[in-house]
Each structure stands twice: as structure tokens, then as C-alpha cells.
Amino acid sequence: MNDINDPSSGSGRFDLSRRLLRGGYIEEIEDLTPTSKRMRLAGPKLTGLNWQPGDHIRVRIGSLLTLRTYSVWDADPDRGWIDLVLFDHGTPDSIGLQWAEAARPRQYVVFMRDARAIRLKPDARWHLFAGEETAAAGFGSLLRALPVDVPVFGVHQAATEADHIDLPRPLTRIARHGAPAASSEQLVAAVAALDLPDTPGAAYLAGEARTIQMIRGHLVNDRGWNRRDIVTKPFWTPGKRGMD
């Protein structure tokens, strides 16, 4: 086991509104699907965690300048832990994938808040979600926060049926079966096939950058959406350093 010493000492509240380096030990790692795992970070520095649904953290991987973004799937501020969901999105040379595969309990993970969080639009009458595996963790925290009487629509795409993680609210599930996740016409077509309300809603698009652009273009050009009602969060795209 390759332990990393905690560079800080003491305890205190971690306010996600401040860009401070924090960290926690890997307490447990659980396989969720063939291509995803849940990682729990815990420790005194996470006690009193002040977080909101849709928050992300930037994890330091390897060198001081190598950071990767992960969504906070869930958190317990009293017990001092946060859960991340890590996905293999088909890029074997990805630094993030190599880090996830090598991670072991008791390793210390250093991270900071990512200011580009996804936030729910509180006045929306209904909500639309669309993305592939890398979007699911962020969507999970947002879906968990919505009142049960607020309508939810959306599409979750995964490599196969077995690669879908369970979300707090059901979305339409589709599988690529070998098709690329980047520039996914399949995901755009699935969103286009949704029977959505005529009244304005709010959309949350996350995952691969090119696919997000395509879905946003469909909503704006084909369905007449206002761009201000669409929240986007690109996590990765092939060939772009820092987004692999």
C-alpha cells in the first residue's frame, strides 16, 4: 500500500466557497459498474463540509500542476466524508484513469474546490438532464436535491446497459454499444425524441464537450430554448490536454 502523508494537521470547517487546498484519506473504494467506482474521501479536514448539490472538486494527481475535476456525488458533513464517482470513458492513456486504477485505501488525496459548479435553477418549473457516464455523478446530487413533485426529464447514456449507475430520479437510458461518446449523434437524437412540456424549463448538459455543444444547438435552434436556461459543464473531449 502506497500511503501519502497528510500535509496538514488539525481540523476545521471546509467551506467550498474558498479555493483552499484540502484533502482526505481514501476510506473505501466500491465498484459500481464495470466502468465506474465510488471513492469515499474522509478525514478531519472534511468535517463541517459546506457543500451544495452540483459542486465539483479539482483533485491533484501526480505533479502539483496536474488536476482533474470530479463531481461530489454525496457528502456527510457531520461524519466528515465525501463520495466521488469515477468513470472510465474509454481513453486508456488518461492520467485520471491511471490514477483511479492505482488508488488504494489510506492514500491521501489533495484537492480544491472547482468554482465552475453546476447549480440548479430554483425557479424552473421542470428540469432536463442529458449526458453520458461522466455526467452521472454531478446529476446524482442535483436530482437528489429536487423536490419529488418537480418534473424531471432527461437522457443518461452509457457504454452498455450494465454501465448505468442508479440515479435518484429515473432518466431515459440508452447504450452506445461501441459507438463513440464524443460528438454523439445518438445522445442528441435521444434528447430530440423526448416529449417535453411546452412551458419553459431548465436544462443541464454535462460530459463530453462536443456532444454538449450539439445538444445545446438542438435545444436552441430546434426547440427555441433561451441560452440562459441551459447550464453546461464539459468534463472531457478527445485530444484536449487537461480534459482527458
Residue 140's pLDDT is 96
Domains defined for the chain, CATH in brackets: 22-114 (2.40.30.10), 127-236 (3.40.50.80)
Alpha-carbon distance 177 to 180, whole Å? 9
Residue 88's pLDDT is 81
Mean pLDDT for the stretch of residues 195-205: 96
pLDDT in tens, 139-182: 999 999 999 999 999 999 999 999 999 999 999 999 999 999 99
pLDDT in tens, 33-59: 999 999 999 999 999 978 899 999 999
Say if residue 148 is exposed, middle or buried (CB neighbours under 10 Å; 0-12, 13-18, 19+): exposed
Residue 19's pLDDT is 55
Is the confidence at residue 227, as pLDDT, over 80? yes
Residue 98's pLDDT is 87
Q: What do you get for the CA distance between the two ends of the chain, in Å?
A: 26
Is the confidence at residue 194, as pLDDT, over 90? yes
Alpha-carbon distance 86 to 137, whole Å? 8
Mean pLDDT for the stretch of residues 62-84: 89
Residue 89's pLDDT is 66
Chain position carrying cell 478525514: 43
Average pLDDT score over the chain: 88
Chain position carrying cell 421542470: 126
DSSP secondary structure of 218-238: IIIIIT---GGGEEEEEEE-T
